[in-house]
A and B are shown apart, each in its own frame.
Chain A
């Protein structure tokens, strides 16, 4: 669920753009540095961007009648890091606005903060915390993706509550209601996204593990051990 064009008052649209811009600029700096040492990374970024675009364009009705969708940014944060993911998310949000009328240009700052910065950072922190532990690769991907998705929706509710505080109860009253309508209904979808992306990882580990090794997502030894485990289970 992206915040639609015109939904936020101009002041809040500007505030969220100002919050997003420094992260976006740092992401651009990292992107330039990455491309200067590895031109082939461009194709990977293209695939990741297009993949996030497709996943986050699948609008699914949620329980309250609001519209939800997977975000896919957890996977991107694991593969290329959270800073470059913020640039990828900006490109994806621009395409979604212009290809699908999903989101908007004035609200892009707010959507970028929720989907391109807050969600991926939480996902990345979970991934970094679990990467070197004995926790399974698939559980790590599941938790990182599901939490990245859920945090995106919590931050969206926060943005809406700040823009439209309740007369009684102020920000917290409004936040409770927005959270109920837009974020709580996302919990099942976040779990489904975590399961789907963990299965995607399983598929990649089985068929093209060199992608994960090249990106340095997991060490070669861990991937080989996981492949062995999958073969034994089969």
Chain B
């Protein structure tokens, strides 16, 4: 189930000591470059560079990284297949009209469009993963407060964050107990067990939430949760590295604007 969240990996990654603002600037800057690119080399460069940084600098286990990339890639591939089929164009190798208002074909233009979307998704996912795998949520709370995000929202984010771990703990224990009692042996039994699991976890978490309120009130809780942790200093070398990476990203993106795969008009 949820034995390992990206959050747990982020807590012990090699870039844990680097300034949160700098890591966010890297991830968000790379994301903006990816979204503004009109040719495929820019997003591909971002994806490769940030994956390399995750493996070499953040020291993320390669197998874990492949697993983490698998889910977004499966969605991207399914979506890209649809985009290739509906894009149309000339010189197609195959075409089919299953419905009067729907024509499917595979053409160089369609392949180019799909390839561009795939590269953009890879660049976007790499940017997101760079933030997710190097920055624990607890560090983001501090940044959110300094960015003047509404206190009610920060408070809700922090409470949900804490409750997720209470709920996960209950869920994993109940689930294993059900599996040991053959609770998922048949389809019908599985639906019943899953519903019981959700109900039991909901009630247990409710009780844990009420305990939390009582504990807070005993500590003179006045409606404001204080996120722990200070801001990390911004050092010169990481700043130069990030500036260099983003500058190179801009150059690649601008120079490769409009570039398509050979043989396609894009």
Contact = CB atoms under 8 A, between A and B. Distances in A.
Interface residues of A, number: 76
Interface string A172-190: 1110111001100000000
B101 interface: yes
Q: Chain B interface mostly helix, strand, loop or mixed? A: helix
B124 A169 contact: no
Interface in B133-190: 135, 137, 140, 150, 152-153, 155-157, 159-164, 166-168, 171
Interface in A83-141: 87-88, 91-92, 94-95, 97-102, 104-106
Contacts of B191: 192, 195-196, 199
B74 A35 contact: no
Contacts of B102: 166, 168-169, 172-173, 176-177
Contact of B103 (A106, A164, A166): A166
Contact of B162 (A46, A94, A100): A46
B30 to A, nearest CB: 10
Given A5-B121, A13-B35, A176 B99 contact: yes
A40 B5 CA distance: 28
Contacts of A207: 199, 203
B6 A101 contact: yes
B231 interface: no
B7 A173 contact: no
Given A4-B125, A5-B72, A204 B202 contact: yes
A50 B160 contact: yes
B contact residues, range:
35 or more
B160 A91 contact: yes
B88 A66 contact: no
A57 interface: yes
Contact of A178 (B5, B71, B82, B212): B82
A98 B167 CA distance: 18
B239 interface: no
B127 interface: yes
A6 B43 contact: yes
Nearest to A49: B160
Interface of B: 2, 5-7, 28, 31, 34-36, 43, 68-69, 71-72, 74-76, 78-79, 82-83, 85-89, 97, 99, 101-104, 117, 120-125, 127-129, 131-132, 135, 137, 140, 150, 152-153, 155-157, 159-164, 166-168, 171, 191-192, 194-196, 198-203, 205-206, 209-210, 212-213, 223
Given A43-B210, A50-B167, A177-B104, 18 more contacts: A5-B31, A5-B125, A6-B121, A6-B127, A7-B75, A43-B159, A43-B206, A49-B163, A51-B202, A95-B161, A98-B7, A167-B103, A168-B102, A177-B85, A177-B86, A199-B195, A203-B200, A208-B203
Top 9 A-B pairs ranked by shortest CB distance? A6-B124, A167-B88, A203-B199, A43-B209, A199-B195, A5-B124, A166-B86, A46-B159, A49-B160
